[in-house]
Amino acid sequence: MLTLPEKLLFALLAVVSLYFAVIGFRRVILAVSRGERGYYPSFNHLTERIGEAIARTISQSTVFRDRPLVSFFHALVFYGFIFYALVNLLDLLEGYLPPEWLQGFHHSVLGGFYRLGADLFTALVLVGVVYFAVRRLTRDPRLLAVNPRTLFHEDALMGLRRDSLIVLGFIFLHVGFRLLGHSSLLAYQGQADPWQPVASLLAGLIGPGDNRLIGWHIGFWGSLGLILAFLPYFPRSKHIHLFMAPANFALEPRHQDGSQVSSGALSPIDFTDESVERYGVERLEHFRLPQLLDAYACIMCNRCTNACPAAATGKALSPAAIEINKRYELNRVSGALAAGGESPRAVLDFVINQESLWACTTCGACIEICPVGCEPMIDIIDIRRQQVLMAGEFPSQLGTAFRGLERAGNPWGLAQDKRDAWAAGLGVPTVADNPNFEVLFFVGCAGSYDPQAQQTTRAMAEILNHAGVNYAILGKAEKCTGDPARRSGNEYLYYQLASENVATLNEALQTLDPTKPKRVLTTCPHCFNALANDYPQLGGHYTVMHHSQLIDELMLTGRLPPLELTQPLTYHDPCYLGRHNGIYDAPRDLLTQGGNTIVELPRHRENSFCCGAGGAQFWKEEEPGALRVSEDRFQEAQATGAAVVATGCPFCKVMLASSESAQQDGAPAVVDIAQLVAERLRTIKLRIGTTR
């Protein structure tokens, strides 16, 4: 239906547009490919990866994790975009082919359903775009209203709103011109089409007339011509996430067997490779490939910052700003990176500042909530590595913890020969006493030295003794797993501690029956995560159990009585137990086996709010903010009306119990689940004793 001059002009413009678009996309791909390769592969099991990425993208399941109303309107635009790939193709064919060539298709039932889909999706996309435009224009820029101390890339300050409006404007005009063109065509033909109710309604408003065919030409050029105008800008716009988000899903780090890597697992540094001259991330090209891909996959929705406990309590950290800053710097320097050059400045100059860097609790909330699979937490840890290992820059309080770990094997720096002093009078066997144990109880530093955590450790020993579990501890041979060192960037110190522990554990476990699983028990989720996710990198392969899992198992097999609680109770999900390792049910199951009811916190399970201790925060002062993370969480627990706040982490227990509100009269008590079970055992024993 196009005239010959129109066909020639459109073809010429298409060649020019595609030429510059290909250059832009090629530059992005080459820049991303400059990213380093990680310990976990990104290109194995590609068929499976691609299938899962398509399923996650089409289902929009990750988008609907949060903000149902916004996600609904996003789905309208997204599914409309998918269908419009076909619409644009057929519109192009209609422009270049004689009308009679497509009559058979348009007069078929299939053609009718196609026209109905195109008509309805056109309307739905317009509704979605109008919603987002109003939302964007009537609210403060969400990403810039986080915290005045947050570092934002200088181009982002003006670029965020401009880019959003360009994309929204393109979609609105592209779809709007298409609707105008087909409505004008119906008006020219002088008839309504029942398969195109929206276009028919507009055609009635336009009215019949021979000159209405001009409207179709305007619609064609306005719709498809805008695509040609937008394509060269596409690689620099946020709209690129349409392709990069599925790619991010497909190329996420996986184990060799194709299984997903826990968010609690970090890529290690090979300290045996003497050719390595740098550790951690100092410049853009030092990030791994998936981390650079994150920047282009990011949809700038700010969900990660909304979920971040540091941001929620007034700290300068914004996980969203990390990805946005990376994107805008990549737009600046992608040409140099694509050509093999170096980026001109350090990431601390534009990605994140020192205050934000050390505010992260490594809780993983940003990773869990992200609809496109970005991992800002991993970026933070890699930048911390460079700061600690190369620059020697870190909060002074961490220096005390590092020295304690180096000299005494624990962050407190307390004597190693006091590590098993907590077990006095409990008859707890060591590996030397009981080499044929079935369960190795890895106590951890908090459980060994902290007075509040020792209450949990002693309670767990009582439980194991009562249930007749054949267990043993390493005693003085145990050292810190290295978790606080690793999460704070001191990877070399972690490597030393972990290597020693792996050797000790393997020696203790090698004498056991090889046909039985090597079960390692811990009451600390941070120890659990290190043993389960970090230690396999060093040859430590164990079946790791959190004490809530073992207690639940012992209750189910009748070796422990169910709990009977008389007071309302709530449960706080530790980040390193829940989000990082997916253990949500075992603590709840054991707490409710006696018919008890848990009053769930508003933020629970995968949406749980951090206690503030992770990422080595326990060993340093919190960055300035409106309130402490632990205070925010305790106030939430207090508002449930529960008399007891149960948890399954020694650090969560200490942080929540030491919050300001916890010191008030009538505040709920913070206890570990093991303490509740041990108290139940004591009550039963006392009852039996009195009846005798």
Residue 386 DSSP symbol: I
Residue with tokens 């497509």: 102
Q: Which of 428, 355, 363 is CA-nearest to residue 394?
A: 355
What number of other Cβ atoms are within 10 A of residue 590's Cβ?
29
Domain ranges (residues) in the chain: 1-66+253-393, 67-145+152-230, 397-691
Of all helices (H) and strands (E), which one includes residue 50?
Answer: helix 46-59
- Cα four-point dihedral sign 91, 95, 96, 102: positive
Residue 636 has pLDDT above 90, yes or no: yes
Q: What is the pLDDT of residues 203-255, one digit of tens each?
A: 888 888 778 889 889 999 999 999 999 999 999 998 899 999 999 999 999 99
- Please say whether the beta carbons of 576 and 377 come within 8 A: no
Q: What is the pLDDT of residues 513-564, one digit of tens each?
A: 777 777 999 999 999 999 999 999 999 999 999 999 999 999 999 999 999 8
Contacts for 281 with CB less than 8 Å, ≥ 6 apart? 287, 347, 379, 382, 383, 385, 386
Band of pLDDT at residue 690, cut at 50, 70 and 90: low
Cα 450 to Cα 201, 461, 615, 663: the distances in Å are 74, 16, 18, 19
- Please say whether the beta carbons of 121 and 27 come within 8 A: no
What number of other Cβ atoms are within 10 A of residue 2's Cβ?
18
**DSSP string of 92-152?**
HHHHHS-GGGGHHHHTSHHHHHHHHHHHHHHHHHHHHHHHHHHHHHSS--TTTSS-TTS--
Q: Which of 189-198, 311-320, 497-506 has the lowest mean pLDDT?
A: 189-198
Task: Specify the higher pLDDT residue, 566 or 267.
Answer: 267
pLDDT score for 689: 63
pLDDT score for 431: 94
How high does pLDDT run on average in the chain? 92
Band of pLDDT at residue 103, cut at 50, 70 and 90: confident
pLDDT score for 145: 54
Cα 487 to Cα 22, 210, 394, 623, 677: the distances in Å are 40, 72, 12, 17, 32
Band of pLDDT at residue 433, cut at 50, 70 and 90: very high
- Please say whether the beta carbons of 422 and 458 come within 8 A: yes
Q: Which long-range contacts (CB under 8 A, 24 or more apart) does 212-216 make?
A: 212/184, 212/185, 212/187, 212/188, 213/184, 213/185, 213/188, 214/184, 215/180, 215/181, 215/183, 215/184, 215/185, 215/187, 215/188, 216/1, 216/181, 216/182, 216/184, 216/185, 216/188
What number of other Cβ atoms are within 10 A of residue 435's Cβ?
12
pLDDT score for 164: 85
pLDDT score for 139: 65
- Residue ranges of alpha helices (H) inside 345-436 are 354-357, 365-369, 376-385, 396-408
Rounded to 5°, the CA angle 688-689-692 comes to 85
Average pLDDT over residues 99-127: 89
Give dist(CA 501, CA 178) in Å, integer: 66
Q: Which of 66-75, 142-151, 503-512, 668-677 has the lowest mean pLDDT?
A: 142-151
Q: What is the pLDDT of residues 270-282, one digit of tens each?
A: 998 888 889 999 9
What number of other Cβ atoms are within 10 A of residue 663's Cβ?
10
Average pLDDT over residues 93-102: 85
Residue 389 DSSP symbol: I
Q: What is the pLDDT of residues 673-685, one digit of tens each?
A: 999 999 999 988 8
Give dist(CA 474, CA 433) in Å, integer: 10
Average pLDDT over residues 461-481: 96
Residue 143 has pLDDT above 70, yes or no: no
Q: Where are the beta strands (DSSP E) in 385-470?
A: 439-441
pLDDT score for 469: 95
Band of pLDDT at residue 510, cut at 50, 70 and 90: confident
Query: What is the torsion angle, in degrees rounded to the nearest 10, for the CA atoms of residue 198, residue 202, residue 205 and residue 208?
Result: -110
Task: Specify the higher pLDDT residue, 565 or 493.
Answer: 493
- Please say whether the beta carbons of 573 and 673 come within 8 A: no
Band of pLDDT at residue 265, cut at 50, 70 and 90: very high
Residue 142 has pLDDT above 60, yes or no: no
Q: What is the pLDDT of residues 242-259, one digit of tens each?
A: 999 999 999 999 999 999
pLDDT score for 53: 95
Give dist(CA 118, CA 86) in Å, integer: 9
Residue 292 corresponds to which tokens in the numbers above? Answer: 């650079």
pLDDT score for 158: 82
Band of pLDDT at residue 596, cut at 50, 70 and 90: confident
Residue 76 corresponds to which tokens in the numbers above? Answer: 């309208």
Task: Specify the higher pLDDT residue, 593 or 391.
Answer: 391
pLDDT score for 446: 96
pLDDT score for 144: 52
Average pLDDT over residues 106-115: 89
Cα 124 to Cα 67, 71, 78, 81, 492: the distances in Å are 19, 14, 10, 11, 55
pLDDT score for 539: 94
pLDDT score for 147: 84
